[in-house]
Amino acid sequence: MTDFSEWFHNILEEAEIIDDRYPVKGMNVWQPQGFKIRKYTLEILRNILDKTHEEVLFPMLIPEDELAKEAIHVKGFEEEVYWITHGGLTELNKKLALRPTSETAMYPMFSLWVRSHTDLPMRFYQIVNTFRYETKHTRPLIRVREITTFKEAHTVHATEEECEEEVQNAVKIYKQFFDMLGIPYMISKRPQWDKFPGAKYTVAFDTILPDGKALQIGTVHNLDQTFAKTFDITYETEEGDHNYVYQTCYGISDRVIASIIGIHGDEKGLCLPPAVAPYQVVIVPIIFKKGAEEVLEFCRGVEAKLKSAGLRVHFDDRDIRAGKKFYEHEMRGVPIRMEIGPRDIENNNAVVFRRDKLEKDTISIESDDFIDEIKSTLDNITHDMREKAWKSFNKHLRDAETVEEAAREIEENMGIVTFHWCGDEACGKELEEKVRVDILGVRESKSETYKMPLTEITKEEIDSLQEEGAAARKCINCGKPSTCRTMIAKTY
């Protein structure tokens, strides 16, 4: 696809995912097709989370004084908060914020709920809409002012170690989730100046969309005891002491749906992973004047068998040209199309078309074994789509030895460029600035920024780098020894 932005916008409209004509900027309407993809995506996440977390639902409004309690947190969000000032004609004594996220809604309640060490750990999540008055260019699903698919998890722990473990646990959860959707990712620790307001540190998942721009698709924050101290969340230890708890929170948003659409789609439109496709199989009868009823009847039988095996199947018996149906279902990304005509019935066959590979095959439907064959084809599609997406992602990852090289790579090839950095904040900011302004000659625009999420080097990596020689371990900006490998990318 030549212009991803245009493609993305068009497909949202043509496949009836989102209608962005709603008259409030950054707030869009989920249409039935989009809503189903969203529903199945959330089902995957719920299935994973329900094993260890409990789902809750907090109010959408947060009193001004609660939101303001955690100073660093509120500072980070102050420019993005929508306020309710009136109830009818009456001005409210206390303004109410539309939640930009729910820490300050939940944690005063956690303070009431947490009593003893036996209550811990606590793990909750909710899937809600949150509101952020984004000043940057808004885009459906990617940067919205009403985030409608905000899954936020909040956990409470007795010790620092357990809290650290939970960060790793959350990373595992998101890996599993993104793997099931075939979304490739890079996991990194954000620099201190780019962490969640109030967090000790932030770990983020980034993917790359087909235009080479990075998109943050999930974040895990270690909140340490910051919020516990602000909201007085304490527990009684076995010895009878009162300690502050440790907390984490982690979230994903509509961007996951944007990634499913953007990463797997192609010139023909959507290409949906079977797990989230509204229809996993569509059956298209190939009808001629003679024997039409027999074909329809036969297809109904195939439909019933696949449905009873738990698959989401649609029998498209509309009285329109088969070619038109093919076009529509390809555009909507249905993973498998079965075509059945009189000759197929005669031979006990069906044509199976794979949306991901755009390839046709003939299968036997003589016995019910074909049901398993369709199921395993769906599994193969999931697998192959994931592989293809990772291949393309890896092509977008490159190393750089100098700042100029890093900037040039981004300018010419986009994607994520990795290199060594000393870890110093002033040096990091200077580097970002050099890439952004000095080299590319680009001033921060409303639609694009350059981010520098950091990836900490693991022990094994440091060992292998020592073999590479000293040059490989120097900060590409200041030349001091490098403790981190970092990355820079043009981001959404």
- Distance, in Å, from the CA atom of 24 to the CA atom of 288, rounded to the nearest integer, reads 49
Return the structure tokens found at 143: 């940067």
Whole-number Cα distances in Å, 106 to 66, 128, 161, 471: 10, 13, 23, 49
CB of 102 closer than 8 Å to CB of 58:
yes
- DSSP designation for 378: H
* Site stretch for ligand PR8 (CB under 6 A), options 144-152, 379-387, 415-423, 437-445: 144-152
Parallel, antiparallel, or unpaired for β 186-189 and 246-252? Answer: unpaired
Answer yes or no: are the C-beta atoms of 126 and 56 closer than 8 Å: yes
CB of 166 to ligand PR8, least distance (A): 13
Q: Please report, for residues 52, 267, 268, 426, 454, the alpha-carbon distance to residue 140 in angstroms, rounded to integers and kept in the order given.
A: 32, 20, 20, 35, 27
Residues 230-269 that bind ligand PR8 (CB under 6 A): 249-255
Q: Which is nearer to ligand PR8, 196 or 353 (CB)?
A: 196
- Which of 12, 81, 144, 173 forms a contact with ligand PR8 (CB under 6 A)? 144
| 152 contributes a contact to ligand PR8 by CB under 6 A | yes
The CB-of-491 to ligand PR8 minimum distance in angstroms stands at 10
- For residue 113, the one-letter residue type is W
The CA–CA distances, whole Å, from 447 to 5, 142, 210, 277 equal: 12, 12, 17, 31
Q: Exactly one of 7, 30, 196, 421 binds ligand PR8 (CB under 6 A); which one? A: 196
Closest separation between CB of residue 183 and ligand PR8, Å?
Answer: 12
457 is a site residue for ligand PR8 (CB under 6 A): no
Q: Which of 219, 280, 477, 482 binds ligand PR8 (CB under 6 A)?
A: 219
Per-residue contact flags (x/-) with ligand PR8 for residues 459 to 488, judged by CB under 6 A: ------------------------------
Residue 122 CB, nearest approach to ligand PR8 (Å): 15
Pairwise CA distance, residues 216 & 450, whole Å:
12
Tokens matching residue 413: 């090839």
Write down the least CB distance from residue 406 to ligand PR8, Å.
23
- Least distance CB 248 / ligand PR8 (angstroms): 9
CB 488 within 8 A of CB 396: no
Q: Which letter does DSSP use for residue 137 in this model?
A: P
Select the residue interacting with ligand PR8 from 182, 218, 335, 453 (CB under 6 A).
218
Select 250 or 421, whichever has its Cβ closest to ligand PR8. Answer: 250
User: How do the residues of the chain divide into helix, strand and coil, expressed in percent and rounded to 5?
Assistant: 40, 30, 30
**Which one of 34-42, 142-150, 366-374, 440-448 is the stretch in contact with ligand PR8 (CB under 6 A)?**
142-150
Q: Which is nearer to ligand PR8, 249 or 283 (CB)?
A: 249
User: What's the angle, vertex CA 307, arms to CA 306 and CA 312, rounded to 5?
Assistant: 100
Instruction: Report the residue number, 143 or 189, with the smaller CB distance to ligand PR8.
Output: 143
How far, in Å, CA of 226 to CA of 200, rounded?
A: 8
Q: Which of 28, 41, 148, 216 binds ligand PR8 (CB under 6 A)?
A: 216
Cα 55 off chain centre by:
19
Binding mask 115-134 for ligand PR8 (x = CB under 6 A): -----------------x-x
Nearer to ligand PR8, 26 or 285 (CB): 26
Q: Which stretch binds ligand PR8 (CB under 6 A): 113-121, 140-148, 228-236, 462-470?
A: 140-148
Q: How far is the CB of 467 from ligand PR8 (least distance, A)?
A: 36
Q: Report 84-113 residues binding ligand PR8 (CB under 6 A).
A: 101
Min CB(219)–ligand PR8 separation in Å: 4
DSSP per-residue letters across 62-126? EEHHHHHHSHHHHHHHGGG-EEEEEETTEEEEEEEEEPSSSHHHHHHHHHHH--BGGG-SEEEEE
**What phi, psi does 489 have (nearest 5°)?**
-155, 155
Indicate the residue among 77 and 235 with the shorter CB distance to ligand PR8.
Answer: 77
Contact (CB, 8 A) for 279 and 336 = no
The correct pick among 147, 180, 203, 452 for binding ligand PR8 (CB under 6 A) is: 147
3-class secondary structure, 487? strand
Shortest spacing between CB 20 and ligand PR8, in angstroms:
13
State the minimum distance, in angstroms, from the CB of residue 254 to ligand PR8: 5
Residue range at the interface with ligand PR8 (CB under 6 A); choices 90-98, 176-184, 218-226, 316-324: 218-226
CB closest to ligand PR8, residue no: 251
Burial class (CB in 10 A: 0-12, 13-18, 19+), 193: exposed
Which residues here bind ligand PR8, judged by CB under 6 A? Answer: 101, 132, 134, 143-144, 147, 152, 196, 216-219, 221, 249-255
